[in-house]
Amino acid sequence: MDCVVTGGNVKVLAKAIHSLSRIGDELYVEPQEDGLALRSVNSSRSAYACFLFAPLFFSRYTIPSGPAFRCKMAIKSVQAVFRSLATLEKTVEKCHIELDEQKNRLTFTLHCKHGLMKTHNLSFQDSESLQAVFDKDSYANVFRSHPRLLVDTVVHFSPSLEEVTVSVSDDQMWVKNHVEDEADRSKAMLTELCLASDEFDNFSVQVHNSVTFCLKELRGLLVFAESTGLPISMYFDEPGRPVVLSVTDSVLEGNFVLATLSDDTDQRKNNTKRARTTPPPAPDDFMNDDMDSYLIAMDTSIMPGPSASRPPSPPLVNSTCLNHTAAANHRTRLHSEEEDEEEETVDSCGPPNKKFCSLFFGSVLPPSSQMTTQPLTGQEVLASDSEDDVQ
């Protein structure tokens, strides 16, 4: 394989590698007829990302004619080639990627200004083909927006937050932080953001649903999308089925496939807490000035209680809270009856222990001798546990 990237495209390539580094530790490189594929998957196989750079992206693109070459390498070492994005843009004129078959090295050569040339010879391992199977067209809910919208959305969440929950109705999308542990809920700050459909370029909802997925990988994609200014499309439907985030352009395509939470107990919890929000709040909620949102019957007399070292929450708070939860539960139930299909799934679900479904069982591979003879599709298995449950 022998390809040359020039000008601004070097930065695009570098950004893509940086955002892939948010997914996993290894970069899978596969020169294909239709372009160079760079992929990564995380260790728990719950997140997968792929960039495909079309031959037109390169000023020269040739692939070996023999058996398909594919390899994997430590993503850190590739990142090191494109370490400083700022200087990269200013100094690098051309990047040449070449497979040195004699030395078994993948060579990255950066041609910089003033005739300076930096060569990185990176070792690699042969690898299986890494390919997640997903069909974006089969998703019920599709959104497209300028990356800025999502960047402005995730900025509201703490950098340490792991997962977000995205819910949609016909004309709104809510994004909120996902708090796993019920016990933590009384301590954690809950953040919720509501986006109106007209902030999106495309907002098509068939199923009112909510999915929970990792924020870290989304942030990774945003790094890429923001720098290239490419609109992001998002595809999802039921919980447990992976969410797909993608960017496309005439010469490149990036797809991030992220597992979503399908744990049924969690789902129920979500429902309970969502009982409050699922019926879309009145549009003028913010302006709505009622002060009755919080009312507590506070006992003002001296109560016998534990020593004053730490202020215990008054018992009355607890009891009102309980009532509140009960009411919420009730509402959930009503809500579920309307969507009894969903309720059935929840009830029939198996062990409620699994957090994220693994996206791929794709690494189960025949020995490499068979690799070339086996049809590629035979090795690409993709199924999510939850889909099995659902069917």
Q: Which residues bind another protein (CB under 8 A)?
A: 152, 155-156, 158, 185-196, 198-199, 273, 276, 283, 285-286, 289, 291-296, 298-300, 302-303, 305, 308-309, 311-314, 317, 320-321, 324-325
Least Å distance, CB 290 to another protein, is 9
Pick between residue 18 and residue 274 the one whose CB is nearest to another protein.
Answer: 274
Least Å distance, CB 313 to another protein, is 5
Please tell me the distance from the alpha carbon of residue 52 to that of residue 59, in angstroms, as a whole number: 15
Pick between residue 55 and residue 280 the one whose CB is nearest to another protein.
Answer: 280
Please tell me the distance from the alpha carbon of residue 39 to that of residue 19, in angstroms, as a whole number: 11
Angle, vertex CA 276, rays to CA 207 and CA 234, nearest 5: 35
Least Å distance, CB 203 to another protein, is 11
Pick between residue 39 and residue 274 the one whose CB is nearest to another protein.
Answer: 274
Please tell me the distance from the alpha carbon of residue 97 to that of residue 70, in angstroms, as a whole number: 14
Tokens coding 267: 């789902």
| Cα 298 → chain centroid | 44
3-class SS of residue 235: strand
Distances (CA, A) of 125 to 23, 71, 81, 164, 220: 19, 5, 18, 35, 25
Concatenating the DSSP letter of every residue in 10-23 gives HHHHHHHHHHHHTT
Pick between residue 22 and residue 273 the one whose CB is nearest to another protein.
Answer: 273
Least Å distance, CB 303 to another protein, is 6
Least Å distance, CB 86 to another protein, is 26
Least Å distance, CB 374 to another protein, is 50
| Cα 273 → chain centroid | 23
Determine whether 259 is exposed, middle or buried from the number of CB atoms within 10 Å of its CB (0-12, 13-18, 19+). buried
Pick between residue 34 and residue 192 the one whose CB is nearest to another protein.
Answer: 192
Least Å distance, CB 302 to another protein, is 5
Pick between residue 289 and residue 341 the one whose CB is nearest to another protein.
Answer: 289
Pick between residue 86 and residue 282 the one whose CB is nearest to another protein.
Answer: 282
Distances (CA, A) of 229 to 91, 124, 143, 223, 264: 22, 32, 16, 10, 37
